[in-house]
Amino acid sequence: MPVDMTPARFDELVGEALDEVPPELARAMDNVAVFVEPRHPEESGLLGLYEGIALTERNSDYGGVLPDRITIYRDAILDICETEDDVIEEVAITVVHEIAHHFGIDDAKLHELGWG
């Protein structure tokens, strides 16, 4: 059975996960915004999504673009968790996973590092 959690509490957990990002990495993040949505409209089981141009792919032509977007999907995460502690852990993993994409780290490397 999925965890029953208010959207506000889930948002708090995402904020707490972001606060745990080491300061040197947080300072290196550039032109990125984080959102929480109930569920991805096409892939209902997707936990998070990074959309944008990774830092490693930006060049001198980069400018005047909308911020990259990291979306964390609340209902998909709640669906796979049994306790609030599970949610806390899954939110942290998902936030780190999507931030890693912002830094140009692909899924294969993330799985190798245990953040898949």
Write the DSSP symbol of residue 56: G
Mean pLDDT for each consecutive 10-residue tract of the chain (116 residues)? 91 97 90 96 97 90 90 97 96 95 88 76
Tokens for 53, please give them: 């141009």
Whether the CB-CB separation of 38 and 75 falls below 8 Å is answered with: yes
Cβ within 8 Å of residue 1, ≥6 positions away? 82
* The predicted structure's pLDDT at residue 89: 96
C-alpha distances in Å from residue 10, one per residue of 6, 58, 86: 6, 32, 12
* The predicted structure's pLDDT at residue 116: 65
- In whole angstroms, what is the distance from residue 96 CA to residue 4 CA? 23
Place of tokens 């959102």: 35
Amino acid identity at 36: V
